[in-house]
Amino acid sequence: MAEVKSMQIDKGLLGGSTTLLLLSLLSESDRYGYEIIRELEQRSDQTFQFKEGTLYPVLHKLENSGYVKSYLAKGDTGKERKYYRITKNGVQQLAEEKKKWEVFSVSVNKVLDGEVHAFV
Amino acid sequence: MPLYEKENFLEEVLRLIRFPFDREEIRAELENHITDRTNYYKEQGYNQESAAGLAVKNMGEAKEIGRALNKQHNPVLGWLWLVTNGLAFILAILVILNLAIPFLSSLLSLNGIDKIPASDIIYQIDANEKVRLDDTVIRFTEVVYDKDGDLNIYYKYYDTRLWGLGWSLPGIGSISDNLGNQYLTGGSSGNGGVISRNRQVIPDFAAAADTLIIDYDSYNRKYRVEIPLQEGDENEQTK
């Protein structure tokens, strides 16, 4: 685990895959910023840890692009928070990003595997 | 100290947001995040001070976040949005007032028409006759005979369709009595609105008549209303 922690990705946020990850989480349910961060942390076994404040410019950008819509609501704790909900456009964008990611990861794996595993 | 750090962080971020009307919302969002993270660390066993300190540290560079947020909160677009919303709001208010004022005034001014002083009334009959002309309902509510020999017929009418607002009834029909007298209808007055309240004056009405007859017959629409006057046994309310 300590090994993994030392590998924490310390980019502003996770580069090109940010939109994919955020839209994917929001396609499951509406969430507020801190929930998104916690979810990313837990699912990635803390690999995805980053400067949490940088999440918000990204969320606001997604909202400006029309992929998500924000609204204020009181959650289970009774505290008012800004929730984000994926829009129809966002769902379309998510499908595209997923496709891109698949092409990308298949290509990376091909390079890594080289000719040795080409027939496996 | 940690409190100061949090405030410091928020101030530094917000200073970089040029559009003032988004600052409050951004502040609340970031502050909630720091509070949640602080609580998380407290659950992990940290004391308030270190929990708050760690939470702020986790946020990252205030300047970097502020600059990035400012890009997403373009002041030109922000002002444009505010101005168009403001205009739409004003327009909506005007439309609502335009619709609501006649409606409210017709509900509030229950007697937009002159009341006859009690000392001038010879007799007064409460009537309750309802007739319909297409979509218009006319209700005769009261008949007052005054000392000048004028018979005043009070009636309301309204359109059963909401958009029938403002349409006015040309007249209630020809007036006669049980003695065979035909009367010229005098002036009528009323207020507009959704439910229009009106008075039709019949000058020189026969004092001896005991039934008022209103006949409406025009454009193939007909009704006939007979209202018992002072001799009638049920409705009598002689003053």
Q: Which domains does chain A have, with CATH numbers?
A: 2-113 (1.10.10.10)
Question: Looking at residue B234, what is its pLDDT?
Answer: 46
Lowest-pLDDT range of A4-8, A12-16, B139-143, B222-226:
A4-8
State ipTM: 0.81
CATH 2.60.40.1640 domain span(s) along chain B: 118-228
Average pLDDT over residues B83-97: 88
B236, pLDDT greater than 60: no
- Is B155 in contact with B185 (CB distance < 8 Å)? no
What pLDDT is stored for residue A3 in this prediction? 40
Residue A7 pLDDT: 44
Cα Dmax for chain B: 102
- Shortest CB distance from B58 goes to which of A52, A57, A61? A52
Q: B105 pLDDT band (50/70/90 cuts)?
A: low
Banded model confidence at residue B61, pLDDT cuts 50, 70, 90: very high
> How far is the C-alpha of A6 from the C-alpha of B221, rounded, in Å?
92
| Per-residue pLDDT, A34 | 95
Nearest 5°: CA angle at B173, between B178 and B161?
Answer: 135
How far away is chain A from the Cα of B96, in angstroms, using its nearest Cα?
Answer: 27
Work out the mean pLDDT of chain B and round it to a whole number: 81
Residues B29-56 pLDDT 10s: 999 999 999 999 999 999 999 999 999 9
Q: Cα dist. B105→A6, B117, B220 in Å? A: 75, 23, 33
Residue B183 confidence (pLDDT): 82
Whether the CB of B26 is below 8 Å from some CB of chain A: the reply is yes
Cβ–Cβ < 8 Å for A9, A47: yes
Q: Are B213 and B226 in contact (CB under 8 A)?
A: yes
Above 90 in pLDDT, residue B153?
no
pLDDT (average), residues B61-73: 93
CB spacing of B68 vs A54 below 8 angstroms: yes
Query: Which residues, given as ranges, of chain A have pLDDT below 70?
Result: 1-16, 49, 115-120
A79 contact residues in B (CB cutoff 8 A):
32
CA atoms within 13 Å, Cβ hemisphere of B77? 7
pLDDT for B175 beyond 80:
yes
With CB atoms and an 8 Å threshold, state whether B29 touches A61. Answer: no
Contact B176, B215 (CB under 8 A): yes
Q: What is the pLDDT of residue B133?
A: 77
Highest mean pLDDT among A42-46, A82-86, B75-79, B230-234: A82-86
Nearest residue of B to residue A49, measured between CA atoms: B58
- Pick from A19, A17, A11, A12: nearest CA to A62: A19
Q: Does B11 touch chain A (CB under 8 A)?
A: no
Which residues does chain B have within 8 Å of residue A50's beta carbon, measured at their own beta carbons?
Answer: 60
- Residue B69 in this model has a pLDDT that exceeds 50: yes
pLDDT for A4: 40
Name the minimum distance, in Å, from the CA of A1 to any CA of chain B: 18
Tokens coding A45: 């076994």
The answer to whether the CB of A84 falls within 8 A of the CB of A68 is: yes
How far is residue B184 from each of residues B37, B173, B181, measured CA to CA in Å?
Answer: 86, 10, 10
Scan residues 52-91 of A and list those with Cβ closer than 8 Å to B.
52-54, 56-57, 60-61, 63-64, 79, 81-82
- A52 contacts B59? CB cut-off 8 A: yes
Superfamily of domain B118-228 in CATH is Conserved domain protein. (2.60.40.1640)
Q: Average pLDDT for residues B206-221, to the nearest whole number? A: 81
Cα four-point dihedral sign A99, A105, A111, A115? negative
Percent of chain B beyond pLDDT 70? 80
